[in-house]
Amino acid sequence: MKCPWCKTEMIDGFINSSRKVVFSQKPNDDFFFLAGRESINLTQHNWTRPSAKAYHCENCKKVIVDYSIEIE
Ligand SMILES: [Zn+2]
């Protein structure tokens, strides 16, 4: 995937966490396993090893998460 900001090739990888990761329009809109009503769950396997497909650009210091991709 090309970085949408600088157009260089991004590094293929994953977001890995000890807890699920959500996108929210408000900070701290998540409490343990209860996501806020507006939150979007980004990670899979949230009870064992939460992770999500992601791409990293070293130049721009940005990560893009693709939570549509199924992780084995
Ligand atoms: Zn970039």
Domain boundaries, the chain: 11-66
Name the phi and psi angles at 47, rounded to 5: -90, -15
Q: Which residue has the higher pLDDT, 27 or 52?
A: 52
Mean predicted confidence (pLDDT) in 34-54 = 87
Q: How far is the CA of 55 from the centre of ligand 1 (A)?
A: 10
* pLDDT band with cut points at 50, 70 and 90 for residue 52: very high
Q: How far is the CA of 52 from the centre of ligand 1 (A)?
A: 20
The whole-model pTM stands at: 0.83
Instruction: Please state, for a pLDDT cut of 90, what percent of the chain lies above it.
Output: 67
Q: How far is the CA of 38 from the centre of ligand 1 (A)?
A: 29
Question: How far is Cα 70 from Cα 72, in angstroms, rounded to an integer?
Answer: 7
DSSP 39: -
Mean predicted confidence (pLDDT) in 2-14 = 98
